[in-house]
Structure 1
């Protein structure tokens, strides 16, 4: 057979005259996918390393976001569009949306578009995992559409439209995070038994010390470490740690 010639690989760069024609990319994947992949791949000061696998992954992600929006649209029509009363999952999703707004805004203003895209990947996963009802998920996805609009205007406009957004998403003001939703109202405390970390608990920030002590002692891992013994002392350092001394 013919000998195989090994050709060194190079990053795509205008200076190296090895760029991919954007028209080819757009024909195969669409303009939104092309934008999303290019912005996600590298910070502005670096050359883009184009790969078909990367473009396909970007396309799959946008298709996933669209499916989520379409599923929420259908669920919203069945539910009447109201949040369940006192739904903690809805409240947590609203807080997650506020954090995403703050982070993506900071990234975009700093021209760190690859970080903005990465943060939107995270937010997509958060919405997908959330147990909130369709009204809360629709709010979150409308926020996502606003944040995606500068990067993927076509799909953002479609998502905004099917989930009840008024007018065009491109004409809406950039979202602002509610400062009250950015304040964490819970804290995670590690629990040590005789100086060795055994567990952690998430509690409201304003929970009294005696309640924190009770939750710490009742934790299954702490009970195993104590072996049925009653602790001699429990030291709660607010916002920091719980030390159990057997």
Structure 2
């Protein structure tokens, strides 16, 4: 529907998108028909991919709510619903956390999910979920490699890679070597966790 601080023409297209999202959320947490799926959710931690997605979702929705950026918070919830089942069955704790994140935007549906999760008190009294800090740390990063300011390659490295390792991997790239044409670099500029620019 757009940022809160912008004046935009009213359109029902955004409403249909939100309606479809809520239908997907319902199908994710509740079985079709009368049988309730929430009772059957596993009490596991979830896969690594699920835990990373949940941590990113909690962090972004929390930050967006503080900034009154409701449209991007809802967008992240949509991404969560779209991607979570691709990574394995939805664990009960993640269903619980998702329900709490959904509550500010769809309180009635969230309360229904909450009751079906077996909670007796209103979710309004539940503490806000906290992301797993270790799941927010990326294990690998993608770094852009430029030669004379032009994109020539992208390399994937461990997130903790030092300057020497970044330079060595950038110079070892076949695509970079082709553009160097056998000339030694005059200067190598490394912007940590973002890019390498090789000047010849």
On whether the aligned pair clears a TM of 0.5, the verdict is: yes
- Name the residue aligned to 1:65: 25
Determine if contact 1:193/1:244 at 8 Å carries over to the other structure: yes
Unmatched 5+ stretches in structure 2: none
Question: Larger C-alpha radius of gyration, 1 or 2?
Answer: 1
Against the structure 1 CA distance between its residues 157 and 52, is the aligned structure 2 distance closer, same or farther, given a 3 Å change threshold? Answer: same
More helix by share: 1
Against the structure 1 CA distance between its residues 232 and 47, is the aligned structure 2 distance closer, same or farther, given a 3 Å change threshold? Answer: closer
Are 1:133 and 2:88 counterparts?
A: yes
Determine if contact 2:38/2:117 at 8 Å carries over to the other structure: no
Are 1:81 and 2:34 counterparts?
A: no
Unmatched 5+ stretches in structure 1: 1-39
Q: Within 5 A, what are the aligned runs for 1:212-227?
A: 212-217=166-171, 222-227=173-178
Determine if contact 2:152/2:175 at 8 Å carries over to the other structure: no
Are 1:147 and 2:101 counterparts?
A: yes
Against the structure 1 CA distance between its residues 236 and 129, is the aligned structure 2 distance closer, same or farther, given a 3 Å change threshold? Answer: farther
Are 1:104 and 2:64 counterparts?
A: yes
Separation in 1, partners of 2:120, 2:63:
25
Find 2:16's aligned residue among 50, 56, 59. Answer: 56
Against the structure 1 CA distance between its residues 62 and 190, is the aligned structure 2 distance closer, same or farther, given a 3 Å change threshold? Answer: same
Give me the CA root mean square deviation: 4.1
Separation in 2, partners of 1:44, 1:193:
41
Separation in 1, partners of 2:5, 2:197:
47
Give the paired residue count. 192
